[in-house]
Structure formats: structure tokens, C-alpha cells
Amino acid sequence: MARDWVKRLVGLSVVYAMAGTPAFAGNLVITPTFSSAVDSLMGGNAGAFKSAFTLAASNFTDWFNDPIHVNINVTVDAGTATLGGSSTFIFSSGYTTVRNALVTDAKSGDDFLITGAGGSVASIMADPLIAAHTYWVTKAQGKALNLLGDDLTSDGTVTLGAGWTYDYNPADGITAGQIDIVSVFMHEISEVMGRIGLSGASVGSNSNSYTLLDLMSYKSAGTRGMLNDGGNFLSFDHGSTLLKAFNNSAALGGDSRDWASGSNDSFNAFGSTGVVNGLSGVDIRTMDALGYDLSSPEPGTMLLFGTALAGLGLLKRRQR
């Protein structure tokens, strides 16, 4: 049901009107600014729409306590051409800079695993790529990794389609034929926060572009899978443990670093109607690995359902 694609933009034409209620539990604050289109296109469901965003955001603020603000513009498009999409400010960075930021920020067991001697982004490991390339970090992720200072300006935009039939309350299950809107919000919020892959694609004039999540993609022990092809898995230990399959984007469409279809999960490339698509333990571990600091015990395998800027670009990812 979902298909993602990527393009680089230089701005947004939407005028954002009212700020919503920020979601926070510890230090991390996620603040939405809802566009006037939400009220005009969502009609009587506008209030439920805004509450669903706050609920989705609370899943991240409950789990992470980075002392930063993630500021997200939230809007809707008419019809069903879009299900969910995100536009994210990104900046380029060198491998050593990103790796050192991870090492400095390491707090959890997975953090130390990833940056340890046998990790996927080990502190002793040289850049795995030889040909000319560029690494990119989202603005929100840069703040979490202390590569950027905290601020209150926009970190990106989340857009949903107004024409879909949504279920706004996953706590009592999802009505047949309806879409779990909280899961769509969680999917897109996580992308603004940095859960994106470029898999060697071009960003503007920069070919061979990658992200931190691309560095955690493996086909087998010691064999990276950083491109947009099949057989790639999330791994924190240089491929020795393959945690979850990435979407085979080249064959099926969709984002290369969303999950492949399987168990219902908010981070899947393709969702289903009539089911709750919650956050899994691997989802939480992934956000931790991307630079966010856990405020609660590490999730393991439990399933969760939740009640410099020079050259800055905007990465747009859209789901349909």
C-alpha cells in the first residue's frame, strides 16, 4: 500500500499556521506546527488528526531523552495520491565526523556494540567506501549527535493524504478497511529524525550518497549491502547478526531502508489496512543506533504499541 521515493527540494510552498501541543516525557520535545490545510481538508476529523500526531510523537519522547527539540511541520494533501511522506533537511558530513559523533554519544549496549571493534561503524574502522561519495545527516539527527546545536526552526515536514479512511485510536484495534494513522505518523516522524537511507543515490549534484543507516546494512557477516538491491539486513555487529530485512526497493519500489514486509510494523515499506502497525523492539533499537539516547531499559525483542548548515538541502520522501 505504500511506495516511497526521494528527491531533493529547496523549499516549501505551504504556509504553516498554528503550532500544536508538543510531545515530551524527558528532555526530547517533538513540536508539530499544523498547516491550515489540516483544518480545511480534514474537517470534523481535524482534532483527532492532531491528537493522533501527538500520540505518535509520544512513542519517541517516552523512549528517548536527548535534550533537543524536533520541530515538524504537519500538513495534508487532498485525495489519496499521498498516504504519508516526509521532507527532511539534511547536511553533508564526512565518515570520520559521523563515526566520532557516534562514539562520543554512545550510552546503550547497542551503541557500544556498533562502535566497538566488531561493530558496523567501529571506531577503528576506516571508511568502507573508496570511490568518491558523500554522507548525509538529517538536521534533527545532527542535533541528537551534537553535530548541530539545538534550535526551534523546522527540521522537516510530514504530509498525509486527506482522502484516506483513517482509524485514529489503535488502542482498541483498527477497523477493517481503515488505516492506522498513528503508525503512518510514526513512520514519517522517524524519517525526519534520521531513519532514512540513500543507498548510493544522488542528492542534487552529489552522486554516491549514503546515510548512517546505510552503514548498518549487510548481506552477511563482513559483507556490506549499502546499495538499493535485495538481500540487505540491519546489523549492528558488521553482519554477524542480521536483525531485520530491509525492503528490496529496486524490485518492489519503496524506501530501501524501510523494513521488508512481514510482521505488522510502523517502519515497514508497505502497510496493511485493518491492523495496528506498532513500534517493535528493533524499531526502538534502530533509533537508538542512529544517535538517540534511551531513557528506558533497552527494548530487546518486546513489541511496543504506543499511547555548518552550509549546503543544507531538503530530502523529500513520499509514501503512497
- Residue 166, CA atoms < 13 Å, CB-side half-sphere: 27
CA dist., res. 279 & res. 108, Å (int): 19
pLDDT in tens, 179-210: 999 999 999 999 999 999 999 999 999 999 99
**Range in 17-21, 32-36, 40-44, 115-119 with the lowest mean pLDDT:** 17-21
- pLDDT above 70 covers what percent of the chain? 84
Indicate the burial class of 262 (C-beta count within 10 angstroms; 0-12, 13-18, 19 or more).
exposed
Q: Taking 60 as the threshold, does the pLDDT of residue 79 lie above it?
A: yes
Give residue 111's pLDDT.
97
Indicate the burial class of 65 (C-beta count within 10 angstroms; 0-12, 13-18, 19 or more).
middle
Is the C-alpha dihedral spanning 122, 126, 132, 137 positive or negative? positive
Contacts of 44 (CB under 8 A, 6+ apart): none
pTM of the model: 0.88
- pLDDT above 90 covers what percent of the chain? 78
Q: Taking 70 as the threshold, does the pLDDT of residue 158 lie above it?
A: yes
Give residue 109's pLDDT.
96
- pLDDT-based confidence at 246, cuts 50/70/90? very high
Q: Taking 80 as the threshold, does the pLDDT of residue 21 lie above it?
A: no
CA dist., res. 19 & res. 303, Å (int): 31
The average pLDDT across 255-275 equals 94
